[in-house]
Amino acid sequence: MPTEGLRTSPSRPCTPEVDGAVTAVAQPNIALIKYWGKRDERLVIPWTSSLSMTLDVFPTTTTVRLAPAAGADRVTLNGRHAAGETLRRVLDFLELVRELAGRRERAVVDSHNTAPTGAGVASSASGFAALAVAAAAAYDLDLDATELSRLARRGSGSASRSVFAGFSLWHAGGEEDPDGSSYAEPVPVRGLDPALVIALVDDSPKAVSSRAAMRRTVDTSPLYRPWADSSERDLIEMRLALGRGDLDAVGEIAERNALGMHATMLAARPAVRYLSPGTLTLLDRVLRLRQEGTPAYSTMDAGPNVKVLCHSSDADRVAAALRDAIPSGSVVVARSGPGARLLSGGS
Ligand code: DP6
């Protein structure tokens, strides 16, 4: 896999005898301004900038061990051998890390994910953020947080944001140096104590992967360009709202941005529809919570689940309302969480 544009250098010379295990952990993030659509598929450069909150739930823990005697990489996810598209993406990613490090040894990757995989709770974000941190350390790459964010981006766009704690902004990047200028960074927030209450309507894997769905949307949806333009304006307003700690404005902008993203998909040919009857029930309940005086705002990703932004102090009330609305689902209260980090091994 080409490594064009990635600005890193191995911190130490090739040391094939090093085979210590390195373990890293990362949390998913939920975008309040969505990433939907790539300008460059290979480098994972988005059309628009996005902004998210890293969560304190659903960590992915990944161990990378170099295997100098092995002829191929080995990857297990939740104790099972990875296969298909997931395996291909991890192997491509390891190849990229090896090129950056100037190393050749194969690796054994063992990853444990606590979110329902493929259900729109961003398991690829925590997965590739943890893999970026663990693999970079295992191959002795000395990367700062910006470089780790760029690297994680190559695995999965949203992973660039999970490198950071709390709120982070992933810059779409410029034409001149697309790879170098597309990375996430922390966003200053004042006086907000937010929660995201996650209502899992359905934890089965999605019918269309977000990667395929966003490609189809960009290629065929007449609503894509208008949404992308309005998303850039949403981002400007969102940063101002976060800066003044205005949860109502943050929530209103997040809700319209997410609904707009789903509108682009519904207009794709053929349509991509992740929203289910359970999703609509929850959207109605959130509207009623607002009418009853509880500030609560919905956002949805590539799946039927609904994440509800509210004040931390209202989280239990919001969770109870969502549980009542979908008795067959499950509800998890998340708050702002830490960035990707090494747990053991590495330097
Ligand atoms: C709807 O980051 O999973 O969650 O870059 O193709 O791996 P790839 O896509 P991914 O897409 C996430 C899309 C989203 C919105 C968001 O997180 O911004």
- Position 163 scores a pLDDT of 98
> Does residue 272 share a domain with residue 156?
no
Task: Tell which of 145, 164, 188 closes a domain.
Answer: 188
> Does residue 183 share a domain with residue 48?
yes
Which residues does residue 50 pair with via DSSP β-bridges, in sequence order? 170
> Does residue 269 share a domain with residue 287?
yes
User: Which of 343, 320, 317 minimizes the C-alpha distance to 331?
Assistant: 320
- Name, in order, each residue with C-beta under 8 angstroms of 166's C-beta and a sequence gap of 6 or more: 53, 54, 186, 187, 189, 336, 337
Alpha-carbon span 239 to 287, nearest angstrom: 24
Per residue in 75-114, pLDDT tens?
999 999 999 999 999 999 999 999 999 999 999 999 999 9
> Does residue 198 share a domain with residue 88?
no
CB distance 162 to ligand 1 below 6 Å = no
Domain range holding 157? 18-188
Q: Which pair of structure tokens corresponds to residue 178?
A: 């697309």
Residue 236 carries which side chain, given as an amino acid letter? Answer: I
Number of compact structural domains in the chain: 2
CB distance 158 to ligand 1 below 6 Å = yes
- Position 7 scores a pLDDT of 38
Which of 35, 39, 54, 206 for mutating ligand 1's site (highest number of atoms within 8 Å of CB)? 35
CA 215–ligand 1 middle distance (angstroms): 11
> Does residue 314 share a domain with residue 210?
yes
Alpha-carbon span 49 to 172, nearest angstrom: 4
CB distance 34 to ligand 1 below 6 Å = yes
> Does residue 179 share a domain with residue 43?
yes
Which of 45, 48, 210, 216 for mutating ligand 1's site (highest number of atoms within 8 Å of CB)? 210
Which CATH number goes with the domain that contains 146?
A: 3.30.230.10
CA 245–ligand 1 middle distance (angstroms): 26
* Residue 216 placed within a domain: yes
CB distance 82 to ligand 1 below 6 Å = no
What number of other Cβ atoms are within 10 A of residue 191's Cβ?
10
> Does residue 183 share a domain with residue 248?
no
* Residue 9 placed within a domain: no
CA 45–ligand 1 middle distance (angstroms): 12
- Name, in order, each residue with C-beta under 8 angstroms of 263's C-beta and a sequence gap of 6 or more: 223, 227
Task: Tell which of 161, 188, 215 closes a domain.
Answer: 188
Question: What is the number of the ligand 1 atom nearest to the C-alpha of 125?
Answer: 2
CA 175–ligand 1 middle distance (angstroms): 21
> Does residue 170 share a domain with residue 69?
yes
CB distance 168 to ligand 1 below 6 Å = no
What number of other Cβ atoms are within 10 A of residue 171's Cβ?
15
- Position 13 scores a pLDDT of 35
CB distance 35 to ligand 1 below 6 Å = yes
> Does residue 158 share a domain with residue 118?
yes
Which CATH number goes with the domain that contains 248?
A: 3.30.70.890
Task: Tell which of 188, 205, 225 closes a domain.
Answer: 188
CB distance 154 to ligand 1 below 6 Å = no
> Does residue 34 share a domain with residue 108?
yes
Pairing of strands 29-33, 50-54: antiparallel
Pairing of strands 106-113, 74-77: parallel
Q: Which pair of structure tokens corresponds to residue 50?
A: 């996005």
Low-confidence ranges of the chain (pLDDT < 50): 1-18, 118-119
